[in-house]
Amino acid sequence: MTNDLVEDALSQLANRARPVDDMAGRALRSAARCRVRRRVTASTALVVATAAAIAVPVMVLPAVDGEKVQAGPSGVQGGLDKVLPPDSAVSRAAVRACMNGDPTFPGLTGPPTEGHRARDFRLLATHPVKDGRLVFLGSSKGYRTCLIDKDGKASPANRQRRQIAHLWGTGPGRDPWAPDASVVPLDTGGNVTAYGPGGHVKSYEFHAAGRVTPEATKITVRFGKEPPITATISGSWFLAGTVSPAGTKARAMQQSMEIKAYDANGTVIFETTHPT
């Protein structure tokens, strides 16, 4: 097992969220109405932005399995500025839950610089799993994937200070700008999510995350011999995953990961299989 392994966009999805997400749905729809009034004066815009940040609860990260949404432009400077979503209250909540301070980058020494700090990260994609959501975070320098429960808290194994993030193009991740594929898997694998009595592993999460071009309209991910999972595509990013209790099933899911991408005609345009 390895660790290498949206407010405008998310507001489009809130009214289709599950019942537990209803409070966030109302808040996000209210924020959307406020954006119309935001054009009146600059001061009104400031008030609305502040209210929206307060109104969105930390606990909910609405998304729809397999939904394709378009991320907005970003002011982030760096190689990924064209595809990093804009900052938002929902994004900041996910980062706070999954980082708990500036992240640690293996092999990187010295104080954090731009792209390496928690505040530089954005929510790239979120995918629903049992009792929570997987979130894929990224900055101009690196990325991180973690599991958040229904209350907006990171899983027990993800609550320590300075969680690990990885530089783009390192480990199993490739350069997100790789020109030779419509899908670029960047973070594929799994992590422990909970421990049981005696410190024994209780459950794992398995995930596949990466960059996707508009050519690919559907992506499926299959762990072991389990049924394929339809990934969530969010702008230029995709994320799919599942949670499994430790045991025979989890061991089998570790053996292989199959990723397929389809175009609008249902033709397979990308396919890869490798161990998690």
This prediction's pTM? 0.69
Integer angstrom CA distances of residue 105 from 4, 39, 116: 11, 41, 8
pLDDT at position 150 is 87
Considering only 13-27, 226-240, 243-257, which range has the smallest mean pLDDT?
13-27
Mapped to the 3 state alphabet, what secondary structure does the chain carry? CCCCCCCHHHHHHHCCCCHHHHHHHHHHHHHHHHHHHCCCCHHHHHHHHHHHHHHCCCCCCCCCCCCEECCCCCCCCCCCCCCCCCCCHHHHHHHHHHHCCCCECCCCCCCCCCCCCHHHCEEEEEEEECCEEEEEEECCCEEEEEEEECCCCECHHHCCCCCECEECCCCCCCCCCCCCCCEEEEEEEEEEEEECHHHCEEEEEEEEEEEECCCCCEEEEEECCCCCEECEEECCEEEEEEEEECCHHHHHHCCCEEEEEECCCCCEEEEEEECC
pLDDT at position 49 is 37
pLDDT at position 112 is 81
Mean pLDDT of 3-28: 39
Question: Which pLDDT tens digit goes with each residue over 148-179?
Answer: 988 888 887 777 788 889 888 765 545 666 55
pLDDT at position 1 is 47
More confident residue, 180 or 208: 208
Question: Which pLDDT tens digit goes with each residue over 89-148?
Answer: 999 999 999 988 899 898 887 788 888 999 999 999 999 998 899 999 999 888 999 999
Among 24-33, 166-175, 243-252, which range has the highest average pLDDT?
243-252
3-state secondary structure of 202: strand
Look at strands 232-234 and 68-69 and give their pairing: parallel
More confident residue, 147 or 73: 147
Average pLDDT, the chain: 73
Q: Is 14 exposed, middle or buried (0-12, 13-18, 19+ CB in 10 A)?
A: buried
- Band of the pLDDT at 73, cuts 50, 70, 90? very low
